[in-house]
Structures are given as C-alpha cells and as structure tokens.
Amino acid sequence: MNASSNGRLAGKRAIVTGAGSGIGRASSLLFASEGAQVLAVDLNTAGVEETVELVKREGGEAIAMTADTGSDADAQAYVQRAIDAFGGLDVVYANAGVSGGDIPFAEQTVELWEKVLRVNLIGCFLAVKYAGAHMVAQGKGSIICTASVAGLKANAGGNPYSASKAGVISLVQTAANSFWGSGVRVNAICPGLIETGMTKPTFDYARARGSADRLGQLNPLLRYGLPHEIAYAALFLASDEASYVNGQALPVDGGLTASMPFKRRRA
C-alpha cells in the first residue's frame, strides 16, 4: 500500500519500537501507508533498516534508529530524534519486547527477571515518560504499549514475561490517570499467539513434531494470529477514531481470553 495523504494517520508523527521484525515491522508499514511519518526503532540495526527500506519501497516516509528501549538515555534520544526530524510527535507504539523463554520456576534467576522487566515494562515506562512529557505540552497524543494475554491470566506465558505484561497493563491504566485532563491517551494491546520472531521457537517445535495444525487451537477461531492483525489494532488506537479510548488493555487473541482454556504447565 502506498502512503496516503488522506489516510487514517495523515499528518501524524509516529514512533514504533521493536520495529525490526514482526508486529513492529507490520505496524511501521501500516502506519506509513496510512500517512504517518515513522521513526522505526530497534536494537537490531539490520532489521530496522530493512523495515525502513520496505516502507520507502511502498512510498511511505520512515527513518531507522538503533536504540535500546530499556535504556533511559536511549529512550530520551529516540523521542527527541522524532521531534527533531518530524517537527513533533503524535503517536508512540512501545512494542519492543522479549519472551524470557519457558524456564521452570525454580530455575529462574534474578538476572532473567531483570532482563525481561527491563525491556518489557521499563521500556514501556520510558516511552510513556518521555513521549508523554512532549504530548502533554502540546495537549494531545496517543501512546500504545504491547502487553499480552499472558498479562491478563495465567498459563499463557512464562512467569517473568507474564508479570512484565501485567505490569504494562497496570502502567497504561495508571499513566492514563497521571495524564488526567491533558488530552494524552495511553492504551495497551494484548496479543494472543502471534507468529513472530519471538514465538518462532514454539512454531518451529510444533512443525518439527508434525503438530503445527494444533497451534492456536485453544481459541474459538481455531488459529494463531499474524503481525498485521495486531498492527490494525494499533492503527485504530493511534488514530483519531479512538479519541475516547483511554487506559484500556485490548485483547486481540481470537477470543482466547473469552474463556482462557487451562493448559497444565510444569512447575
């Protein structure tokens, strides 16, 4: 899709983190096709540069930036880069995250928890803090964070991952109230099972065992999701169509959390 001057994000300046692959790449492409100028941020330089090339190939406008989203200095830098390059900032999609793996509880370390919380939760906090300060000054803005169904209920992810995503959900609720009366909205998306680089080990394992047809079978749609399906939810929250949506955690999971089937996990 070519960039549109009449798109749903026409005239908006956006940041997408974790933009080097998966949901972040799909969101960068979609935001740009809907008229936004996009600063694509990722720790993976090659990945984020490829995303920007794809955006430009489709007629969109994007800039690549390598940054560690869990770093205070880097977060300040990528927010300032967008403001300097685009003349302002209207949308931030704090999507960068790590899984933490599927390690038995008794074998988990403080270092593992610190790594997962640093990227998944502190990274979102920093995006909200520094983008929010600019948006409050201008009187409007939309901040979106990637949480997870694992942050809503148990048995959808490992312990540190689930705790970090529950923290993201609480962060958007409390941040929305911290920005009381400012015109700045803060929301989260809670993806279900999506085929991305993060979930590649799960998909590879299932395919190697010949059980790929069982992936996503715990939700009423009987399938897993794709990155562009999360990107469209982010597009809605970023757009003025969501002008009355604030402090919410939106599941995009094929209906999984409508019942949240239980799957016994090892201790």
Residue 130: active-site member: no
In a domain, residue 210? The reply is no
Range of the domain at 123: 13-196+226-251
> Which tens digits make up the pLDDT trace of 212-223?
677 767 888 889
pTM: 0.93
In a domain, residue 42? The reply is yes
Give the pLDDT score at 26: 98
In a domain, residue 181? The reply is yes
In a domain, residue 260? The reply is no
> Which tens digits make up the pLDDT trace of 95-150?
999 999 889 999 999 999 999 999 999 999 999 999 999 999 999 999 999 999 99
**CB-CB neighbours of 199 under 10 Å:** 16
Distance between CA atoms of 89 and 81, rounded to whole angstroms? 10
Mean pLDDT of 67-82: 98
Give the pLDDT score at 6: 85
Confirm if 248 and 188 have CB atoms less than 8 A apart.
yes
Residue 184 has pLDDT above 70, yes or no: yes
Confirm if 16 and 24 have CB atoms less than 8 A apart.
yes
Residue 169 has pLDDT above 90, yes or no: yes
In a domain, residue 109? The reply is yes
Q: Count the domains in the chain.
A: 1
pLDDT range class, residue 265, cuts 50, 70, 90:
low
Mean pLDDT of 151-172: 95
CA torsion sign, 17 to 116 to 224 to 254?
A: negative
Residue 138 maps to which CATH number? 3.40.50.720
Worst-scoring range by mean pLDDT, 143-147, 156-160, 167-171?
156-160
Give the pLDDT score at 67: 98
Give the pLDDT score at 42: 98
pLDDT range class, residue 72, cuts 50, 70, 90:
very high
Residue 262 has pLDDT above 60, yes or no: no
Q: Which residues pair with 39 in a beta bridge?
A: 15, 63
In a domain, residue 231? The reply is yes
Q: Which residues pair with 252 in a beta bridge?
A: 191
In a domain, residue 213? The reply is no
In a domain, residue 104? The reply is yes
Share of the chain above pLDDT 70, in %: 91
Give the pLDDT score at 205: 62
Give the pLDDT score at 103: 94
Marked catalytic residue, from 78, 93, 161, 224: 161
